[in-house]
Structure 1
Amino acid sequence: QLQTKSRSNQEISDAVSQLGKNPLPDAFFIQAKSSDPDSLIRLKDTLQNLPSVELALLNTEWVKRLSSLLSLGKKLISMIAGLLAIVLLVIIGNTVRMQILTQKDEIEVSNLIGATRSFIRMPFLYAGALYGLFGGLMAVLMLIGIIQAFNLSISQIAHLYSNDFSVTLFDTQLFLAVIISAISIGWIGSYIAVSRAIASYKIN
């Protein structure tokens, strides 16, 4: 770092040129995978106990604040995801119910010619799953936008502590989990709507 500073500052460069060697001790910056305060403190203590390490530093206040922000962010995202799931269930249920009302005559005719409940129910279940897929994709885009906004706030705070930190966006497993959950919600919502309609139409 001293050599880097000397390249941009002439006074430091002149001082460094007069030194036989770098008088400053070696310094290493470690980027931990975990942001858990207890884990970071244990890591700091482990490094401090190494015989070749003179001093290990950890900004515990920054770590605690970061942990609090991440915890708040996770809670907010969980609440938003729960609300989106409820809204998706209600919207899909009402949409399928409206489709059933518009196709009431077709459903009754199908029942008269021998169509089973499963046969009548299946197209609406597929439609509900498709609606769930579209809803899941929209939810993913919304959550990505929320995480991006959260990262902006985090980066501003991290800059005050000369750090560079951001929340990782969706990985493949989480993306698939959201999509599968949305499809399942769509399927369940349409199943409830169709089952109520079949019961009200007295279909055998």
Structure 2
Amino acid sequence: MPSSWTSSLRLEQQFTGENINTWGDRLNVALRHADQAVAGWLTKPLTGPATLSTLNGADDEARAATIKFTGGAGPFTVTLPAVSKTYLVWNACAGAVTLTTGAGAAVTVDPGDIVWASCDGSAVKTPGYGGVSIKDWVSGVAWSYNAGNLPAQAGNAGKFVRTDGSTASWQALSTADLTDYAQAVKGLALAFAVAL
């Protein structure tokens, strides 16, 4: 009976009595591939849609633990194998990279972002809350009380975002904002003087 292959990482599984006197070399290949799956790095240049390579018992792209995508403006779509696997993905492209298996949910990674992407065999998801990514959840919560918008930044250098409980806006820092700070500094100065 011939060797078989693990479904997610495509590692060779030896049949009893097979590959006599060569099992050591085959084991080393499997260990190298396991190392790539746990801690391996792949830089993948993109110029258009791409599919990560998968090869039984040989080096391939989809086995890497961390993938850095490089390339132009995109957007790009990268097809992952439809098997269970988690990746750390760095989008170093100038445009968005969408990760998909071709079925189920997909994940879009914005330029410059580094995200975890997990595939269950069909859907690709990132860690998050309430069914959305952590980034989308934080954005939604942080700005939900301001209609989801950060006040415009043009002409507001040196100011701070401040809210009155219903509207966020840019405002200059005033001495009233420093009352607690001033009292704390005065208390520290007094404590220092007493200590001397």
TM-score interval, normalised by the smaller of the two chains: under 0.3
User: Which of the pair has more CA radius of gyration?
Assistant: 1
The answer to which structure has the higher helix fraction is 1
Compute the TM-score of the two structures, normalised by the length of structure 2: 0.28
Q: Which has the higher strand share?
A: 2
Q: Which has the higher contact order (CA 8 A, sep 6+)?
A: 1
